[in-house]
Amino acid sequence: MSPVVKRKRKKFSIPSKYLLLILTCVCVSLMAITFFTEYSPSTVNRLAGYIIVPFQEGVSRVGAWISVRVDELGELRVVLQENQELKQQIADLTVENTQLQQDKYELNNLRELYQLDTQYSGYDKVGARVIARDSGNWFHAFTIDKGTDDGLAIDMNVIAGGGLVGRIVDIGPNWAKVNAVINDDSNVSGMVLASSDILMVTGSLELMQDGVIGFEQLIDSKEQVELGDKVVTSNISDKYLPSILIGYISEINQDANNITKSGTITPAVDFEHIEEVLVILKTKQQIVE
């Protein structure tokens, strides 16, 4: 009788090169699926929203709390002094305010007169807080703390401080990713308010460091556009609502083709310090319909 040799069963494992191959295939097919089809990974988004977003919210709130406390300590002395000055200012402002209210009344009348109806200021907006920023250094998208549960949807416009911030490009139940107009992969069709010339506002990482956005394809045959002109979103854009302020022209250059001009725009929004934004609860498509 030969002794029965009981071999220890080897633990099943895949060789690493096959694992690499399998995972590569998974990645490539995922890319293909998401690129060529309209499939949007809503289940993955939902899952991520429930696991990650609450923590991001918490941590950024704690971070904000700490930075506020630090600022408070440093500024206490300044604040006391400021308080005096501000009280003086309140008195001045009250006087000014009454005057302005009169002006506003007049302005409203004039608006009605000229039918410069505030067509787009009447939209419902919802406030949201920025809770996280893009983890890489190449793009400057950010995450806000509202999502489909709050009635948001992809392509809704996001504004802050009276200027255009960007639009929602990805969404989960309690978060939404906003692509800023200064982002390198963002293009917005804009219009110079004074002369109604159409131009293309193109985000660029190179210009972002200087705090400006680039524009191009401005056909300005009458040489009307000047430095400091207001640039708003145009009415031919299919994602952005018309007449939202983008910024002010800060540089104009003639292109080599002598037909179009390009240059830079100083944005109306301080993109470095965005903390709260407003989301317009209507997309351009809904309005057109």
The footprint of another protein on residues 159-198 (CB under 8 A) is: 169, 177, 184-185
- If one asks whether residue 122 binds another protein (CB under 8 A), the answer comes out as no
Minimum Å distance from CB 191 to another protein? 25
Minimum Å distance from CB 142 to another protein? 9
Nearer to another protein, 2 or 43 (CB): 43
Would you give the DSSP letter of residue 9? P
Nearer to another protein, 2 or 135 (CB): 135
- If one asks whether residue 249 binds another protein (CB under 8 A), the answer comes out as no
The footprint of another protein on residues 199-218 (CB under 8 A) is: 204-206, 208-209
Minimum Å distance from CB 259 to another protein? 20
Q: Which of 7, 73, 138, 221 binds another protein (CB under 8 A)?
A: 138
Q: Which of 76, 92, 233 is nearest to 167 (CA)?
A: 233
Would you give the DSSP letter of residue 150? G
- Cα 132 vs. chain centroid, distance in angstroms? 12
| Tokens coding 112 | 């009605």
Q: Quote the CA–CA distance of 28 and 224 in Å, as a whole number.
A: 50
Minimum Å distance from CB 121 to another protein? 32
Q: Quote the CA–CA distance of 262 and 214 in Å, as a whole number.
A: 7
- Which segments within the chain are labelled E, that is strand? 125-133, 142-144, 157-160, 163-171, 176-180, 187-192, 198-202, 213-219, 230-233, 245-254, 260-267, 276-280
Q: Which of 256, 202, 249, 255 is nearest to 225 (CA)?
A: 249
Would you give the DSSP letter of residue 87? H
Q: Which of 125, 129, 133, 282 binds another protein (CB under 8 A)?
A: 133
Give the DSSP H/E element, type plus range, for residue 34. Answer: helix 16-36
Per-residue mark of binding to another protein, 13-52 (x: CB under 8 A): xx-x--xx--xx-xxxxxx-xxx-----x--xx--x---x
Q: Which of 50, 55, 65, 105 binds another protein (CB under 8 A)?
A: 55
Residues that bind another protein (CB under 8 A): 13-14, 16, 19-20, 23-24, 26-31, 33-35, 41, 44-45, 48, 52, 55-56, 59-60, 63, 67, 131-141, 143, 169, 177, 184-185, 204-206, 208-209, 272
